[in-house]
């Protein structure tokens, strides 16, 4: 059990009980959300109106694995017995008492179809499939309503949390930047339409970046972009206009006129460019493009708020800044780009929320209190297969109760 502190025997020697695991198996990453109930007496369980205990306290945990390393994920689930919850879990029973022998976990994303057999074969688990878009919307609505300090704006390096008025949440545009990008107009709980998408997304950044820079990991590529200068490769308006702005149409000399445009005229080979400059140009090109398409879709439907999720963003300042500037620029300040702390976990959370336990009519997760320790979504760490990377240490205190 040394892989993940959350599974250690606690101070009272009570094993922490894991119940309810959900997966989002995407083109690039597998996201896991699971609930561990508190081991004992540290907090009173939730009570109903007449004071009868009707729930359990615990923590929501988040972890992720590269889809290409799905065997690490299977090993993680197996080693930590994450599947013991599932249907057996009522949220109230001890797992030892569970007599149900059918094991299933909720799963969404394309991989829920692609890897269904693998889960059956290796873990004897059935994946109960939930629609990817349904899950994204459920996850986003849930976070926007239930979580403290979930949505924030990012402008000029400043992060500002946005207070969401539950009565004035809809409509909004949800832009999920995964391997590809989905744009979803959300009108309410379960009311949405996928209005657009683009194949130029996170997979494009990582895929092209890998080819062009020889980086071995996404983190390395992202890290490189910090030190790069996109002007080394991008053609700016000033490069075309002899250093001047093209002010008649509102283009300053520093605006990118053509991403990677200098590669044509420079007469250089790939090796002559610094990998950090390539990474920066690529990140800027893709973020800009997504910001612009998002704004155009918001405009189509008169939406003022655009929430961006997906693991491409990765809490990365330059990515968020570029997207926010693009939305601000194209909308002339009318539309607002907002980001979500749990960016990449929307789908997995949606799958998690879709459990219908026979003994729980309505599942409600409340008391979302981000933990001050280990709760940062912006600390970049290297991928650790058994812990999941970055958000593997993230957990949120919450309660599950019968509504």
Ligand X SMILES: CC(C)(CO)[C@@H](O)C(=O)NCCC(=O)O
Ligand Y SMILES: Nc1ncnc2c1ncn2[C@@H]1O[C@H](COP(=O)(O)OP(=O)(O)OP(=O)(O)O)[C@@H](O)[C@H]1O
Which positions lie near ligand X, rule CB under 6 A?
Answer: 26-27, 110, 132, 178-182, 197-199
Q: How far is the CB of 178 from ligand X (least distance, A)?
A: 5
Backbone angles phi and psi of 38, in degrees to 5: -65, 145
- Residue number with CB closer to ligand Y (35 or 206): 206
Q: How far is the CB of 285 from ligand X (least distance, A)?
A: 17
Provide the Cα torsion 265, 266, 271, 277; round to 10°. -90
The answer to whether 149 and 370 are in contact (CB under 8 A) is yes
Backbone angles phi and psi of 83, in degrees to 5: -85, -5
Provide the Cα torsion 308, 113, 123, 374; round to 10°. 0
Q: Tell whether residue 246 is a contact of ligand Y (CB under 6 A).
A: no
Given ligand X, ligand Y, none, residue 383, with its beta carbon under 5 to 8 Å by kind, binds: ligand Y
Q: How far is the CB of 192 from ligand X (least distance, A)?
A: 14
End-to-end C-alpha distance for the chain, whole angstroms: 34
Q: Which stretch binds ligand Y (CB under 6 A): 47-55, 173-181, 233-241, 296-304?
A: 173-181
Q: Which contiguous run of DSSP H or E holds residue 293?
A: helix 275-300
Q: Tell whether residue 330 is a contact of ligand Y (CB under 6 A).
A: no
Q: What gap in Å lies between CA 173 and CA 183, rounded to an integer?
A: 7
Q: Tell whether residue 339 is a contact of ligand Y (CB under 6 A).
A: no
Q: How far is the CB of 194 from ligand X (least distance, A)?
A: 8
Quickly tell me which residue has 């044509």 as its tokens.
264
Q: Tell whether residue 66 is a contact of ligand Y (CB under 6 A).
A: yes
Task: Output the furthest CA–CA distance in the chain (Å, rounded).
Answer: 78
Q: Which stretch binds ligand Y (CB under 6 A): 27-35, 41-49, 251-259, 271-279?
A: 27-35
Q: How far is the CB of 282 from ligand X (least distance, A)?
A: 18
The answer to whether 278 and 310 are in contact (CB under 8 A) is no
Q: Tell whether residue 76 is a contact of ligand Y (CB under 6 A).
A: no
- Residue number with CB closer to ligand X (20 or 314): 314
Q: Buried b vs exposed e over 193-206: b needs ≥16 C-beta within 10 Å?
A: eeebbbebbbbbbb
Given ligand X, ligand Y, none, residue 400, with its beta carbon under 5 to 8 Å by kind, binds: none
- Could you give the 3-state DSSP secondary structure of residue 394? coil
Given ligand X, ligand Y, none, residue 198, with its beta carbon under 5 to 8 Å by kind, binds: ligand X
- Residue number with CB closer to ligand X (26 or 275): 26
Residues at the interface with ligand Y (CB under 6 A):
26-29, 66, 109-110, 178-180, 202-203, 205-206, 218, 310-312, 314, 344, 383, 389
């Amino acid at each position: 059990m040394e892989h993940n502190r959350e599974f250690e025997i606690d101070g009272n020697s009570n094993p922490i009980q894991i119940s309810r695991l959900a997966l989002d198996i995407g083109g690039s990453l597998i996201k896991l959300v699971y609930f561990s109930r508190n081991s004992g007496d540290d907090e009173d369980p939730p009570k109903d109106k007449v004071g009868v205990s009707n729930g359990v306290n615990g923590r929501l945990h988040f972890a992720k694995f590269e889809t290409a390393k799905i065997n690490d994920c299977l090993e993680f689930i197996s080693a930590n017995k994450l599947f013991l919850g599932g249907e057996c879990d009522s949220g109230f029973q001890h797992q030892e008492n569970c007599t149900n022998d059918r094991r299933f976990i909720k799963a969404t994303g394309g991989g829920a179809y692609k890897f269904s057999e693998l889960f059956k074969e290796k873990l004897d688990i059935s994946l109960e499939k939930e629609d990817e878009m349904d899950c994204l919307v459920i996850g986003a609505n849930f976070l926007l309503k239930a979580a403290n300090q979930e949505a924030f704006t990012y402008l000029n390096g400043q992060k500002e949390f946005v207070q969401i008025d539950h009565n004035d949440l809809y409509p909004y545009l949800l832009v999920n930047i995964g391997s590809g990008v989905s744009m979803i107009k959300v009108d309410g709980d379960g009311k949405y339409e996928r209005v657009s998408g683009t194949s130029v997304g996170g997979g494009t950044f990582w895929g092209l970046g890998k080819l062009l820079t020889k980086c071995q990991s996404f983190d390395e590529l992202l890290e490189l972009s910090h030190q790069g200068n996109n002007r080394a490769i991008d053609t700016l308006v000033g490069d075309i206009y002899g250093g001047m702005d093209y002010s008649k149409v509102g283009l300053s000399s520093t605006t990118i006129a053509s991403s990677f445009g200098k590669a044509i005229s420079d007469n250089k080979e790939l090796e002559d460019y610094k990998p950090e400059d390539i990474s920066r140009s690529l990140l800027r090109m893709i973020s800009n493009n997504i910001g612009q398409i998002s704004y155009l879709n918001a405009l189509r439907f008169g939406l003022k708020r655009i929430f961006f999720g997906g693991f491409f963003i990765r809490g990365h300042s330059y990515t968020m800044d570029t997207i926010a500037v693009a939305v601000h620029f194209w909308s002339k300040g009318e539309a607002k780009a907002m980001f979500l702390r749990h960016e990449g976990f929307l789908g997995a959370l949606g799958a998690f929320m879709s459990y219908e336990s026979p003994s729980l009519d309505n599942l409600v997760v409340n008391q979302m209190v981000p933990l001050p320790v280990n709760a940062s979504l912006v600390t970049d760490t290297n991928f650790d297969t058994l812990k999941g990377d970055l958000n593997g240490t993230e957990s949120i205190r919450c309660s599950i109760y019968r509504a």
